[in-house]
Chain A
């Protein structure tokens, strides 16, 4: 098994607010992230695909295809957007790093599975700032995260 990782960066704004909480609870639980006008981050996304290289091409997955998938599914959808209001897949969720990483996994997994390569999505790592990131490994316990983290 070989793991291939591609990194992209996108910039977006968000805010944390649960309409079921009182204004006071929202401020207490979410702190500065509850600012009603939102705030932004430069997100760094590392997408890892694991698999055995194809004996003919020597590739786990064609990087051009992966680049196109990331462009279409992540950049076009999230870059320079307000995540709460402009990304349908996040509607009704608090756009925390956890929820964004899980959403990106759900967007990328079927697209990567549809490619001809032998690679499967193995890890989505989303950096919100340089001191915070979330790793998503999906739901399938057989999906090769045993050898990597």
Chain B
């Protein structure tokens, strides 16, 4: 039986979309309102999907309290109520678009020891979301 367990978490953070490799005018043209120098914030929703065999003794793919603790330590605590551009080292040089944030979250969680990380889905608002399943994306549900 192919099973995948998904847990939803939320965190709130601010960011500014601005590339050091582009001129001011280019930044404004490409990023629009998101280039506002003071930044702006979102309530992000992260869906973490893990897969693997169901342990016959526990009935679980992964123990939820282990997953919750891991996600809290690796993602929620370092990101929640921060300004991503300044407070998270990974985004000092990389533009914290939700695409890049989605990849960063995947990279932080892929070593979760309890089960195999299948995918990260990140909602920036209720109207847009991004998914990343690692380098093998496209070969989903192999």
Please give, as numbers and ranges, the residues of chain B lying within 8 Å of A136 by CB-CB distance.
1-3
Complex interface: chain B residues within 8 A of A105 (CB) = 1
Instruction: State whether B59 touches A29 (Cβ < 8 A).
Output: no
Bound together, the chains give a CA A97 to CA B67 distance in angstroms of 15
Point out the residues of chain A lying under 8 angstroms from B57, CB to CB.
Answer: 18, 20-21
Q: How many A-B residue pairs have CB under 8 A?
A: 74
Q: Check A149 against B140 for contact (C-beta < 8 Å).
A: yes
Chain B nearest Cβ from A15, distance in angstroms:
12
- Distance to closest chain A CB from B64 (angstroms): 7
A101–B59 Cα distance when bound, in Å, is 11
Minimal Cβ-Cβ distance residue in B for A125 = B6
B141→A146 contact, CB < 8 A: yes
Q: Which residue of A30, A31, A96, A145 is within 8 Å of B2 (Cβ)?
A: A145
Q: Which residues of A contact B63 (CB under 8 A)?
A: 29
Q: Report whether A93 and B59 are in contact in the complex, using a CB–CB cutoff of 8 Å.
A: yes
- A139's nearest neighbour on chain B, judged by CB, is B1
Q: How many residues of B are in contact with the other chain, CB < 8 A?
A: 22
- Bound: A141/B8 CA distance, A: 27
B140 touches A134 (CB 8 A): no
Given A102-B54, A105-B1, A149-B141, A133-B6 contact (CB < 8 Å): yes
Chain A facing B: main interface SS: loop
With an 8 A cutoff between CB atoms, is A52 at the interface?
A: no
**A96 near B58 (CB under 8 angstroms)?**
yes
Which residues of chain B are within 8 angstroms of A130 by Cβ–Cβ distance? 8
CB of B101 closer than 8 Å to a CB of A: no
Q: What count of chain A residues pass the 8 Å CB interface test?
A: 31
A145 engages B141 (CB within 8 Å): yes
Complex: A134 Cα to B9 Cα, angstroms = 15
Which residue of the partner chain A has the closest CB to B1? Answer: A102
- Residues of chain B lying within 8 A (CB to CB) of residue A138: 1-2
Q: B13 contacts the other chain (Cβ, under 8 Å)?
A: no
Q: Tell whether B76 is near chain A: CB-to-CB under 8 Å.
A: no
Chain B positions within 8 Å of A20 at CB level = 57
User: Interface on A for B, CB 8 Å cutoff?
Assistant: 16, 18, 20-21, 29-31, 93-99, 101-102, 105, 130-139, 141, 145-146, 149
10 further A-B pairs in the complex, CB-CB below 8 A; given A99-B59, A133-B6? A16-B59, A18-B57, A21-B57, A94-B58, A94-B60, A98-B61, A130-B8, A134-B5, A135-B49, A138-B1
